[in-house]
Structure 1
Amino acid sequence: MAADEAEGAVLRLGAMPAHADALCVFVHGRGQSPEEMGEHVIARLRNATAHVVLPRAPGGVWYDARAVDPLSEHTTAQLAASLDAVDAAIDMAVSEGAPGDRIVLAGFSQGACLALEYALRRPGRLRGLVAFTGCRVGGASRARAAAFLNGLPAYLSCGDADPWIPLGPFFEAAHDLAQAGASLRADVFPGRAHEVLDAEIAALDAMLGQVAAHRTPAGARRGAAA
C-alpha cells in the first residue's frame, strides 16, 4: 500500500499496521524522496512482516544546513520540526494498530542524521536504531546532555571517504551513542560510494527481525564499535 506523493504525504509499505510484528520508520536523505528509499532500500529487505512508514520532508530537505555545519538557531528550529515529523509518523502508525513497543527508526544520509538526533534527543520510544551514513547535526556534541539509552540496539555505517559525512563526525556520533548507553555496532566500508550496500540492508533486516522477536540483535555489545 502507498500514500499519494503530495507534499508532506508519507509512503506506507510492508505489512498492514495491525498485522505487523514491528514498525519501521525510514527517513530519506537530502533531495531524496520516500519513493526512492522504498525502491533502493525497503524493496531489498527480506523482512516482509514489518509495517514501514517513510515520512516526506518539505521540499525534500529536513534542514537546510549541512550536518557538519555549526548548529544555528534556524537549523535548531528546522531540526525540531523534523523530529516532530518522525513522532507524527510513529503516532499515525501506532494509532492504526502497528506495534508501538517494537519500533525501529532508520535513515540514510540526512535521514540518518535525523534518526541519530531523534534517538539521543527523544529517547524512550525506540527498540532499534539504524543510521546509514550519518552523524550528529551541528558537529561535536559533547556539551549536550546525553540521553540514557539503556542498551538500545544501534547500527551505524559509513564509507571511509564519503563525500557528505566525514569519518570524524561519524565516529563522534558513535561515541555519543556509546556514552549514552546504546548497544552499538559500527561498520566502515572502504571505497563505498554514497549508497546502501547489501551488508547494510542485512543489518536492518536483522534488526527488524530481532526487535520483532524481542531479542537483542546478535553481535551488538554495549558501547562496542568495529
Structure 2
Amino acid sequence: MYTHHKQIVTAGKPIEQATKAIIMLHGRGASASGIIALKDHLELNDYAIFAPQATEHSWYPYSFMAPVSNNQPALDSALGIIGDLVADIMGKGISQENIYFLGFSQGACLTLEYITRNAGRYGGAIAFTGGLIGEKLNMANYTGDFNQTPVLITTGDPDPHVPVSRVNESVGIIKGMNANVTLEIYNLRPHTITAPELAMANEILSR
C-alpha cells in the first residue's frame, strides 16, 4: 500500500498577488497537470491554483464505497496532503473563506471528504461526480459548520463509479452541516465533465 508525497503543480497568479486560491484534485489514473487544464474553462483570473499529484495517479486503491480500512494508508495520507496545503495557503495570507476546492471523480470524493471532515466557511467547493467515502459513512468523522459555503455536486444517473444513492446521502449530510448545496443529476451522462457543469462552477468561482 502507498502513501502520498507532497508534489504540487501550480498555475494562475503567484499566491502573493492572488486574492483567492483553489485546490484542484484529479481523478484516478489522471494527473495534476490534467485537472489544472480545466482552468481554460473556469473563471480563475484572481486565483492561485494548486493541484496535488497522487502517487501512482490514484488517491486510494479501491472504490470509494469500499471499507475505509481497505483504502488506508493512502486515504489518510491524501487527506493529510490537502490539510497541509490548506495550512500553507493560509500561511501565505489567504483566508479560509477565500479558499476553494474542485475535484473530479476520485478527486471529487476526496474534496467532499476533506471539507466535510473540516467543515467551515470556504469560498466554495465543486465536486464533479463524487460522494463521501466509505462502505458506510461514519458520522463521527464529520464535524463543524459550513456557514453557508456554496457546494456544487454533479453526477450522472447512472454513473459507473458513483451511485446516485451515495450522492444523495452525501448531500443530506453536507446540507445538515449548513452548506448551501446545489445538486445536479444528469440522466445518462457519461463519466465526464460537461459544459453546463463548468458554467455552474463558474457561478461559484466568480462570486
- TM-score w.r.t. length of structure 1: 0.81
Distance change in 2, residues 1:100/1:150 (3 Å): closer
Matches within 5 A, 1:173-188: 173-188=170-185
Q: For residues 143 and 20 of structure 1, what CA distance do their matches in structure 2 show? A: 35
Partner of 2:127: 131
Partner of 2:193: 196
Q: For residues 101 and 136 of structure 1, what CA distance do their matches in structure 2 show? A: 22
Q: For residues 139 and 88 of structure 2, what CA distance do their matches in structure 1 show? A: 33
Partner of 1:152: 149
Do 2:129 and 2:156's aligned partners in 1 also have CA atoms closer than 8 Å? yes
Matches within 5 A, 1:93-104: 93-104=89-100
Do 1:65 and 1:75's aligned partners in 2 also have CA atoms closer than 8 Å? yes
Matches within 5 A, 1:14-25: 14-25=12-23
Matched, 1:51 2:48: yes
Q: For residues 156 and 104 of structure 1, what CA distance do their matches in structure 2 show? A: 14
Deviation of 1:75 after TM superposition, in Å, equals: 2.1
Do 2:96 and 2:123's aligned partners in 1 also have CA atoms closer than 8 Å? no
Match of 2:89, as an amino acid? A
Do 1:22 and 1:49's aligned partners in 2 also have CA atoms closer than 8 Å? yes
Q: For residues 95 and 179 of structure 1, what CA distance do their matches in structure 2 show? A: 30
Q: For residues 176 and 91 of structure 2, what CA distance do their matches in structure 1 show? A: 33
Q: For residues 185 and 15 of structure 2, what CA distance do their matches in structure 1 show? A: 34
Partner of 1:63: 60
Tell me which moved more, 186-195 or 24-33. 186-195
Do 2:155 and 2:186's aligned partners in 1 also have CA atoms closer than 8 Å? yes
Deviation of 1:8 after TM superposition, in Å, equals: 4.5
Q: For residues 145 and 179 of structure 1, what CA distance do their matches in structure 2 show? A: 14
Partner of 1:12: 10
Matched, 1:109 2:71: no
The CA RMSD over aligned residues, in Å, is 1.9
1:19-59 Cα offsets, whole Å, 9 max, x none, are: 212110010011110111122x2221133221110011111
Equivalenced residue count is: 202
Show structure 2 runs of 5+ residues with no match: none
Percentage of pairs with the same residue: 26
Within the candidate set 74, 88, 95, 1:92 is matched to 88
Do 1:10 and 1:55's aligned partners in 2 also have CA atoms closer than 8 Å? yes
Aligned partner of residue 173 in structure 1, secondary structure? helix
1:155-205 Cα offsets, whole Å, 9 max, x none, are: 100011211111111111111111222111100112211111112112222
Do 1:23 and 1:51's aligned partners in 2 also have CA atoms closer than 8 Å? yes
Distance change in 2, residues 1:142/1:57 (3 Å): closer
Show structure 1 runs of 5+ residues with no match: 1-6, 211-226
1:71-130 Cα offsets, whole Å, 9 max, x none, are: 22x424322211111122223334445454400111110100001111111223633111
Matched, 1:208 2:205: yes
Do 2:43 and 2:206's aligned partners in 1 also have CA atoms closer than 8 Å? no
Q: For residues 57 and 143 of structure 1, what CA distance do their matches in structure 2 show? A: 26
Tell me which moved more, 143-152 or 128-137. 143-152
Q: For residues 66 and 176 of structure 2, what CA distance do their matches in structure 1 show? A: 23
